[in-house]
């Protein structure tokens, strides 16, 4: 890294400190991320800062090609969780300004510097007005963060687990299907069933009843991939293991075996279900669906498709 590059990097670090970010964000990774958000590199000055929409992959490319910092591919999640999350929470950065409903696992997911933050850095950094404008910006920052938090909240998918218990899942087709499983499938085919686990494309899980699963003898193995939804149908003592399929595959033979091992100690009989939004979605995976499983389609919620076996909707020994 040459002197001009190091100078911009040091200034970016000083800005993060001035903006009162926690120590965990006052580091090279976060400083480079800010420079990438502004498309700022020598010989540009802060007055030439821009506001491109940019994803994590492009930020890593920027660090490597522009500042000679080759971050490993497996650091993408660190950038997202340990830098971008805090930038967004502070209101300095916007998520998907072109499409706030974009699902979090979309390859088009992007970020952009917030207009007031851009004006502060582009028009006032290293000028006589910096201290005054910085104080003004910080004074309104909490309100700005709340505003964008409310906007993000508007696009979340609310899912009612039980009466009085609602969770918020990240937006997207996959989590909308999870909502349909809990609110449309469960009341019809597992009435009175208790939701034990709900995955979320945006987080490790959206809901997790650890005590309930432990009571059924299920030992959580974080190295094993949980199904998208787990429901205990106590009336029959079944545990329904449900995969929501919008972009990834159904319960095929391999996945059937993985789930069987993951829930091998369960005192409730395992029932394997694949859920699709539409029949057209199901046809793409028809040859992969395992025998002795069930298929449910959200667009026809009163019907269930049984793939062979000696019983309909029930566990096998």
155: confidence class by pLDDT, cuts 50, 70, 90 = low
Query: Residue 243 forms beta bridges with which residues?
Result: 274
Right CATH for 157-307 from 3.20.20.70, 3.40.50.620, 2.60.40.10, 3.40.1350.80:
3.40.1350.80
Provide the pLDDT for residue 102.
82
Q: From CA 113, how far away is CA 40, in angstroms rounded?
A: 12
10 versus 1: the higher-pLDDT residue is: 10
- For domain 3-152, which architecture applies? Orthogonal Bundle (1.10)
145 versus 150: the higher-pLDDT residue is: 150
Strand, coil or helix: 70: coil
301: confidence class by pLDDT, cuts 50, 70, 90 = very high
Q: From CA 115, how far away is CA 124, in angstroms rounded?
A: 13
Q: From CA 149, how far away is CA 242, in angstroms rounded?
A: 31
Identical fold between 3-152 and 157-307: no
Instruction: Give the list of residues 6+ apart from residue 34 with CB closer than 8 angstroms, or none.
Output: 12, 15, 16, 87
144: confidence class by pLDDT, cuts 50, 70, 90 = very low
Q: Which of 84-88, 147-151, 207-211 has the lowest mean pLDDT?
A: 147-151
Query: Domain locations in the chain?
Result: 3-152, 157-307
Q: Is the dihedral of CA 59, 64, 66, 68 positive or negative?
A: positive
275 membership: H or E segment, kind and range: strand 269-276
Provide the pLDDT for residue 310.
66
Instruction: Look at residue 256 and tell me whether its pLDDT is greater than 70.
Output: yes
Q: Which tokens hold the place of 291?
A: 């025998």
Mean pLDDT (the chain, rounded): 87
Helix and strand element counts for the chain (H, E): 12, 11
Highest mean pLDDT: which range of 58-62, 184-188, 207-211: 58-62
């Amino acid at each position: 890294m040459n002197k001009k590059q190091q100078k911009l990097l040091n200034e970016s670090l000083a800005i993060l400190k001035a903006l009162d970010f926690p120590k965990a964000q006052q580091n090279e990774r976060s400083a480079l991320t800010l420079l990438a958000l502004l498309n700022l590199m020598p010989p540009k000055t802060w007055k030439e800062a821009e506001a491109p929409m940019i994803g994590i992959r492009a930020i890593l490319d920027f660090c490597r090609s522009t500042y000679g910092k080759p971050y490993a591919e497996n650091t993408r999640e660190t950038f997202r969780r340990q830098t971008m999350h805090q930038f967004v929470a502070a209101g300095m950065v916007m998520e998907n300004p072109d499409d706030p409903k974009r699902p979090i696992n979309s390859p088009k997911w992007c970020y952009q510097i917030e207009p007031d933050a851009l004006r502060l850095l582009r028009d006032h950094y290293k000028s006589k007005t910096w201290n005054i404008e910085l104080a003004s910006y910080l004074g309104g920052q909490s309100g700005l963060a709340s505003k964008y938090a409310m906007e993000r909240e508007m696009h979340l998918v609310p899912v009612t687990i039980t009466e009085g218990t609602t969770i918020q899942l990240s937006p997207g087709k996959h989590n909308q299907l999870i909502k349909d499983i809990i609110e449309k499938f469960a009341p019809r085919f597992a009435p009175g069933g208790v939701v034990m686990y709900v995955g979320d494309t945006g987080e490790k899980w959206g809901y997790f009843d650890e005590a309930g699963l432990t009571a059924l003898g299920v030992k959580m193995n974080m190295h094993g991939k949980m199904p998208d939804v787990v429901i205990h149908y106590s009336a029959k003592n079944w545990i329904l293991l449900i995969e929501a399929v919008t972009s990834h595959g159904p319960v095929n033979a391999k996945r059937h075996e993985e789930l069987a091992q993951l829930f091998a100690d369960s005192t409730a009989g395992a029932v394997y279900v694949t859920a699709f939004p539409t029949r057209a979605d199901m046809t793409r995976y028809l040859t992969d669906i395992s025998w002795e499983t069930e298929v449910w389609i959200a667009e026809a919620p009163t019907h269930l498709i049984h793939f062979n076996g000696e019983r309909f909707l029930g566990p096998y020994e």
